[in-house]
Amino acid sequence: MIFTVAIDGPAAAGKGTISRRLAAQFGFAHLDTGLLYRAVGAMGGDPVAAAQALSPADLDRPGLRSLEAGQAASRVAAIPEVRAALVAFQRRFARREGGAVLDGRDIGTVISPEAEVKLFVTASAEVRARRRFDELEAAAPGAQDYDTVLAQTRERDARDMGRADAPLRPAEDAVMLDTTDLSIEAAVTRACDLVADALARATP
């Protein structure tokens, strides 16, 4: 069975959490496409060459989840040649046998416009920054302040939405999910219901 779930949205909206839970629930493979851009940004040197040479081992490098790695990722992600070098791998993943969940910024619009389910997950910048701050605090208490995380969240949103190539925006047929006032469980339940409905239609 070929079945793609595309999950897009800004930083810390809940894409990864929802994607992992969907993958576990339905037995689909999951690709966090942000990691590809984080790895390219962290490699230094020529980002186009880094994207062309990217291998799975590069995705296991420590530190890819840091705020700095997120900023570096969003800078290299604005380069069209970097994006072009990563398209084929993501498209193959999306259409692999057995079902796939991909989360990122352009999955429903560019990587997999044919996806059976498209979800655009949002939340206010303040709530997203608070979530990211709490995550970073749990890993390294006292190492960051909330205002910096909020400023970086806004800066990354603006860069991702403002770029010419594959800007962050919902696909026309995406279902919108605002998690500002939603618990993780409620968001996951809504996503699971959507996928279950689409699966029932795809495999009558």
| Residues of each annotated binding site for ATP | 9-17
Is position 70 an interface residue for ligand CDP (rule: CB under 6 A)? Answer: yes
* Least separation in angstroms between CB 1 and ligand CDP: 24
CA atoms within 13 A on the CB side of 27: 5
Contacts 24+ apart (CB under 8 A), 126-130: 126/150, 127/179, 127/180, 128/10, 128/11, 128/12, 128/13, 128/153, 129/12, 129/153
Among 47-55, 101-109, 140-148, 170-178, which window interacts with ligand CDP (CB under 6 A)? 101-109
Nearest to ligand CDP by Cβ — which residue?
34
* Interface positions, 133-152, toward ligand CDP (CB under 6 A): 135
Question: How far is the C-alpha of 38 from the C-alpha of 41, rounded, in Å?
Answer: 5
Is position 16 an interface residue for ligand CDP (rule: CB under 6 A)? Answer: yes
Among 4, 39, 43, 74, binds ligand CDP (CB under 6 A): 74
CB nearer to ligand CDP: give 82 or 99.
82
Question: How far is the C-alpha of 77 from the C-alpha of 39, rounded, in Å?
Answer: 11
Is position 12 an interface residue for ligand CDP (rule: CB under 6 A)? Answer: yes
Question: How far is the C-alpha of 151 from the C-alpha of 146, rounded, in Å?
Answer: 9
Among 85, 112, 131, 191, binds ligand CDP (CB under 6 A): 131
Among 22, 38, 54, 177, binds ligand CDP (CB under 6 A): 38
Is position 4 an interface residue for ligand CDP (rule: CB under 6 A)? Answer: no
How many residues sit in the footprint of ligand CDP (CB under 6 A)? Answer: 28
Is position 77 an interface residue for ligand CDP (rule: CB under 6 A)? Answer: yes
